[in-house]
Amino acid sequence: GAKEKVWHMMNILIWPTQGDSTNDPITFNTNLKGYPDRPGWLRYIQRTPHSDGVLYGSPASEHVGKPTIIEITAYNKRTFETARHNLVINIMSTEEFPLPYQAEFFIKNMNVEEMLASEVLGDFLGAVKNVWQPERLNAINITSALDRGGRVPLPINDLKEGVYVMVGADVQFSSCLREVETPQNQLRCSQEMEPVISCDKKFRAQFHIDWCKISLVDITKVVPVHSNRPDPGTGVLPDIGEYNPPSESLKNRDYFADFLITLAVPSAVAMVLFIILAYSMCCRREGVQKRNMQTPDIQLVHHSSIQKSTKELRNMSKNREISWPLSTLPVFHPVSGEVVPPIHPDNYETTSMPLMQTQTNLQNQIQIPQQQSSGK
């Protein structure tokens, strides 16, 4: 916020020296000279091996006056050629900074490399200048939405990641930019609705701005917070001599106690529980003999006499002659209407006799047997 910032945009293109290789897939690797990675303020992006690589970032005031050497290594994936180039970045202070009034916009329909193009950024600054009307207007910082915790969009409908663009000016915020702070627009933003901004039409033709995410900061009113940070040091470990590995004469470790705790004790507990369960299931059953011994004799005799009487009655019912049941009396033929008697065997020995006869048997039966008297 209150620090002096210098904004840089760089497009890095490296081509092989031989042959027509405009369509060759080329990837770039960038790092600070003598270090494995880039400085913390410098970012790099390349979408595909056929697209340009872009270095961008915003150095802070502590980087002013310190030349930054970036090593750029290009790899041609078709010819396996490599090329290396050193890019020297001189960071200088300027009197235009710091600009006291800073506004950060979130543009939904742009990726960071698209916004870094000079013509696109110029169109955006022109639209902001038309709305803000400042004397000095500069782009301070450009950040991809993915670096702010955004999610990668789905590859449908040409969705973009989104980009945050911070601009600074020397005059107060315009009334159009202040409209997002009204209670009505704040309520619409809380309900995930688009706020009503009068100057949105000046951006809508090319830039879709999420007005609910706009940030307006007046750095003249920001109270600086001083924190006592520890000295980061040089980043080099102190020399503590050569590494001294442990000696080879190590004592053998006894794993018997670990074996007892891990396997023997759980196995013994499981065996005891199994024995208790087996005794309860198999050895504690009463059985028929033990049940009879605990039952009174008079109850056993009574039960035995009931079973014997029931069996005797069933045997007697099979041999006695009884009258035909009402369900076997003559019935009428369902088609002709004549009386048709059922067929009965001479000796009635079973009660499993059909109640209705088939049509073939009904036509041959014309006599009705007379019932026998129950006295004979």
Q: Could you list the mean pLDDT of each consecutive 10-residue stretch along the chain, which spans 376 residues?
A: 36 42 83 90 88 85 84 91 90 73 91 88 91 88 88 82 90 89 91 89 88 88 66 73 77 83 91 91 73 78 87 81 57 62 49 47 47 45
Phi/psi for 351 (5° steps) reads -100, 0
- Which pLDDT score, from 0 to 100, does residue 140 have? 86
Claim to verify: residue 140 and residue 86 sit in the same structural domain: no
> What was the pLDDT predicted at 124?
92
What φ, ψ does residue 176 adopt, rounded to 5°? -65, -45
Residue 105 sits in the same domain as residue 35: no
Contacts for 144 with CB less than 8 Å, ≥ 6 apart:
43, 45, 111, 112, 150, 161, 162, 163, 164
> Are 205 and 135 within one domain?
yes
Helix ranges, the chain (H): 112-115, 118-132, 175-178, 183-190, 201-204, 256-259, 265-278, 287-294, 297-319, 359-364
The answer to whether position 141 is within a domain reads: yes
Instruction: Report yes or no on 19 lying in a domain.
Output: yes
Are residues 68 and 150 both part of a single domain? no
DSSP 223: P
The answer to whether residues 325 and 350 touch, using CB atoms and an 8 Å cutoff, is no
- pLDDT of 164: 93
Q: Is residue 33 part of a domain?
A: yes
Q: Note whether residue 259 is domain-resident.
A: no
Residues 143 and 182 in one domain: yes
> Do 126 and 214 fall into the same domain?
yes
Question: Given 91, 112, 134, which residue is the final one in a domain?
Answer: 91
51 lies in the same domain as 85: yes
In a domain, 54, yes or no: yes
Asked which of 91, 123, 143 is the last residue of a domain, the reply is 91
- Judge if 179 and 68 occupy the same domain: no
Range of the domain at 50: 10-91
Exposure string (b/e) for 333-369, b if CB count within 10 Å is 16 or more? eeeeeeebbbeeeeeeeeeeeeeebeeeebeeeeeee
Instruction: Choose one of 171, 204, 221: the last residue of a domain.
Output: 221
Stated pTM of the model = 0.55
- 167 found inside a domain: yes
Q: Establish if 16 belongs to a structural domain.
A: yes
Query: Within 10 A of 205 (CB to CB), how many other CB atoms are there?
Result: 9
Query: How many domains, the chain?
Result: 2
Say yes or no: 128 and 194 in one domain: yes
CATH number reported for the structural domain that contains residue 21 in this entry: 2.60.40
349: left (phi over 0), alpha (psi -120 to 50) or beta: alpha
Give the model's pLDDT for residue 353: 46
Beta bridge partners of 27: 75
Amino acid at 269: V
> Is residue 260 in some structural domain?
no
